[in-house]
């Protein structure tokens, strides 16, 4: 595949040049759900379903000549071929294992982060809409099966987070504590940090502007009060002088 075509395909899926096969599959898993014609609500904000499926086909070296729907359902039939969704589970385990453990180096705006419950709700919505429109749905992708896969994956992922596997140190040998080195930040992470800093600066600028207006308003009120006070004093002075003149005239 020409380099330009590969880069365009990576861009469509929101991936970097060094993306693994697992990254590609997970990106397609999510983006195909959110660009599917029966559910997408704003095409201007997202690559079209055809572009997403074509990008996946280009990067996975398969599905030549297949329609976007065929690519989509073939993929989901494969990852959900059993109730435990072992294929998808393995993809998620690899994804979780390779994520940076240090929040400081984790990109806050990870477009390909997987939310099992949300993504499966989207899949169920797609299947439901297709049935309403009289379109074919693979027999092995029933609502009950999709729900069962979702529930199993959610449970397994939660269990993995609560009880991560740890290797016990061998007897007679002192376990070496690994020294973690900060991973170099990716371009996406750097851009996310830059956007965050820009938002913080904008917030500070707005707060300063509001403070300036508030101070100006207070100063305006103070001047008005001073002017009114001076006016009252002047009126009292004139009144006192007039009273004194009347007393002298008597």
Structure tokens at 105: 């180096």
Q: What is the DSSP string of 137-204?
A: --TT--HHHHHHHHHHHHHHHHHHHHS---PPPPTTSPPPPP---PPPPPHHHHHHHHHHHHHHHHHH
Query: If 0-12 CB within 10 Å is exposed, 13-18 middle and 19+ buried, where does residue 158 land?
Result: exposed
CA angle 136, 139, 143 (to 5 degrees): 95
Domain boundaries, the chain: 1-99+113-163, 186-249
Q: Picking from 9-13, 22-26, 167-171, 227-231, which range would have the lowest pLDDT averaged per residue? A: 167-171
Neighbours of 242 (CB within 10 A): 10
> What's the pLDDT band for 85 if we cut at 50, 70, 90?
low
Q: What are phi and psi of 36, to 5 degrees?
A: -65, 135
Q: What pLDDT is recorded for position 172?
A: 47
Q: Reply yes or no on whether the pLDDT at 50 is more than 70.
A: yes
> What does the alpha-carbon distance between residue 107 and residue 184 come to, in Å, rounded to a whole number?
12
Q: What pLDDT was estimated at residue 104?
A: 38
| Predicted local distance difference test score (pLDDT) of residue 9 | 87
Q: Indicate if the pLDDT at residue 228 is higher than 50.
A: yes
Tell me what pLDDT residue 165 has.
54
Please state, in angstroms and rounded to a whole number, the distance separating the CA atoms of residues 39 and 119: 12
Rounded Cα–Cα distance for residues 106 and 215 (Å): 40
Q: How confident is the model at residue 101 (pLDDT cuts 50, 70, 90)?
A: very low
- CA end-to-end span of the chain: 115
């Amino acid at each position: 595949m020409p380099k330009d075509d590969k880069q365009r395909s990576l861009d469509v899926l929101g991936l970097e040049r060094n993306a693994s096969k697992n990254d590609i599959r997970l990106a397609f898993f999510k983006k195909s759900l959110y660009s599917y014609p029966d559910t997408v609500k704003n095409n201007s904000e997202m690559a079209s379903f055809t572009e997403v499926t074509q990008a996946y086909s280009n990067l996975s070296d398969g599905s030549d000549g297949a329609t976007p729907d065929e690519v989509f359902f073939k993929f989901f039939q494969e990852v959900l071929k059993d109730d435990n969704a072992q294929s998808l589970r393995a993809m998620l385990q690899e994804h979780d294992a390779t994520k940076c453990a240090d929040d400081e180096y984790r990109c806050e705006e990870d477009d390909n982060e997987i939310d099992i419950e949300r993504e499966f709700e989207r899949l169920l919505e797609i299947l439901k809409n297709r049935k309403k429109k009289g379109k074919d749905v693979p027999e092995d992708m029933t609502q009950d099966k999709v729900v069962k896969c979702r529930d199993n994956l959610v449970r397994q992922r939660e269990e993995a987070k609560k009880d991560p596997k740890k290797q016990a140190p061998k007897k007679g040998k002192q376990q070496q504590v690994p020294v973690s080195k900060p991973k170099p930040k990716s371009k996406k992470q750097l851009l996310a940090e830059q956007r965050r800093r820009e938002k913080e600066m904008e917030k500070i600028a707005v707060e300063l502007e509001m403070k300036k207006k508030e101070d100006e308003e207070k100063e305006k009120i103070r001047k008005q009060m001073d002017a009114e006070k001076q006016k009252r004093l002047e009126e009292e002075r004139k009144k006192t002088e007039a009273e004194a003149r009347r007393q002298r005239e008597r």
